[in-house]
Structure 1
Amino acid sequence: MSDSSENPTQEWTKLVENMNDAVAESMEQNMKASSAFMESWSDAMEESMPEQGEMAEAMEGYNDAYEVWLDAAEQMFERTSDAAEGEDVAMSEFRDIWLQSANEAFKQVMSTSAYAAANGQLVSAMMDLQEQTDEISEDTLEQLGMPTGSDIEEVGERLVELERRQHRVEKKLDRVIEALE
């Protein structure tokens, strides 16, 4: 059994080590998240190289996002220091710092015209894919002798036209009957 004078020192050392480990781990996770974000952003930008003005704006958005991440790391360090000095710091504060920072960083990048252009190209590609899929479905149904979407639309249009004609004939008949009475 150890004496009581060593025990608080050992506990303090262990607490500081644990906090240092937690800070190091959260910094590592931050760097991984930032790296993954930049990698996916870079991949999106590679597929659609923006114009020079858009590229400058995109880089500015990235720099702003990076500043947000740095501010978050600084806040984490400050709150960790506060905890080491004995202040009661809830673990949820650390989570909230990262969540708020992630939201702000993504907002910085997503508000650029380069991101909008890349997103527009993605939507366009998805619409092209949907159109191709629809054409393949139509061809397959046609080859199987089943009605296609186009066939059903044509039948619907014909029914609407028949209803219009029927109403016109009914009105004429009503006028003829009124005239005869």
Structure 2
Amino acid sequence: MVNDASSAFDGEMESFVERMTETYMNAIDQNLDAQSKLMEAWMDATEENLSEENVRESYEGSLQAYEAWMNAAERSFDRLGDALEGEEVDAAEFRDIWLASANEAFKETMATTAFAAATGQSVEEALNAQQQVEEMTEESLHAVGFATVGDVREVGERLVELERRTHAIESKLDRLLEER
């Protein structure tokens, strides 16, 4: 009976360690993959569009973000070791370590003027693309005989101008009639 309980406990512990190891390794893989993609995209964006000084600052921000990720990996590894030594470690703690690390990495990256410049350029490009889409949409709608937002605005502006002129004429007529 004692051997059965001991075997069951050993089996549960082995299963727990396997789950923890698998969870840890999956988390590391996913986070390192995400970090790698973020850094690649960040460096591509900054190298193409920013001044040398901003690229250098961006690189420094990337290194600080990388350091935050590596600290998270180290903390996770330490906590996994604690779990293997018998300490009760909640799996959510690993998630929290990586979330805090992601927040720190993004904070380091977003605090740079390079990020602000890249973001500004991205917003400008998005607005330009949006304007081009709106122009193409308007041309397409005109081609099939539909009114566009621009057309409706123009009609509205003309109506306002007509109302203004009508009001001015009515005022003049009222003055003329009063003078009689």
**TM category, shorter:** 0.7 to 0.9
Q: CA deviation at 1:4?
A: 5.6
Q: CA deviation at 1:54?
A: 0.5
Match in the other structure for 1:36: 37
Q: CA deviation at 1:64?
A: 0.9
Return the TM-score normalized by structure 2: 0.80
Identical counterparts, % of pairs: 47
**1:2/1:24 CA distance change after superposition, 3 Å:** farther
Tell me which moved more, 167-176 or 86-95. Answer: 167-176
**1:15/1:4 CA distance change after superposition, 3 Å:** same
Partner Cα distance (1:145, 1:6) in 2? 82
Partner Cα distance (2:52, 2:20) in 1? 45
Q: Alignment length, in residue pairs?
A: 179
Q: CA deviation at 1:83?
A: 2.3
RMSD across aligned C-alpha pairs, in angstroms? 2.8
Match in the other structure for 2:147: 147
Partner Cα distance (1:15, 1:83) in 2? 9
1:54 lines up with 2:47 in the alignment: no
Residues 69-84 of structure 1 aligned to structure 2 (within 5 Å): 69-84=69-84
Partner Cα distance (1:174, 1:166) in 2? 12
1:110 lines up with 2:120 in the alignment: no
Q: Deviations over 1:43-100 (max 9, x none)?
A: 323442x212101110111111011111211221232233233332211111111112
Residues 21-32 of structure 1 aligned to structure 2 (within 5 Å): 21-32=22-33
Q: Which amino acid aligns with 1:32?
A: D
Q: Which amino acid aligns with 2:63?
A: N
Match in the other structure for 2:172: 172
Any gaps of 5 or more consecutive residues in structure 2?
Answer: none
Q: CA deviation at 1:144?
A: 2.9
Q: CA deviation at 1:168?
A: 1.9
**1:128/1:12 CA distance change after superposition, 3 Å:** closer
